[in-house]
Amino acid sequence: MSIDFEYIDRLLIVRINGDIDHHSCEEIRSKIDKEIIAKNPKSILFDMGQVGFMDSSGIGVLIGRYKLIADSGGKAGMINVKPQIMRLCEICGLQKIIKIYAGKKQAVASIKE
């Protein structure tokens, strides 16, 4: 598991590479939180294109990061979500909190507006 960060102005794009389960969660959480504390982004976009597996532990982590960002008035979104993970998000009602966008352009436009 590895994480890449990219910025478009104050929008933090987080690309997670690898499975998101309870085992990898702690590392994912601490890496993203360190980045948020250091760079103070306004909003956050999760690029899930390199995530092949996720279970409800991942839902917990994503919601946790969303809360951090939302507390200071930011928005959160997801892109490149694979069908299997899409279903998990639906079951858990995640898309009501973290919107799933069709692509990066749409996501950036909508989150930054």
E strands within the chain? Answer: 2-8, 11-17, 43-50, 76-79, 99-100
Q: Which of 61, 76, 79, 100 binds another protein (CB under 8 A)?
A: 61
> What type of residue sits at position 39?
K
Kindly identify the residues of this chain, within the stretch 34-53, that bind another protein according to CB under 8 A.
Answer: 53
CB of 40 to another protein, least distance (A): 21
The tally of CA atoms less than 13 A away on the side-chain side of residue 25 is 15
The answer to the question of residue 97 lying near another protein (CB under 8 A) is no
Binding track, positions 67-96, relative to another protein; x by CB under 8 A: ----------------xx---x--xx----
Q: List the beta bridge partners of residue 100.
A: 78
CB of 92 to another protein, least distance (A): 5
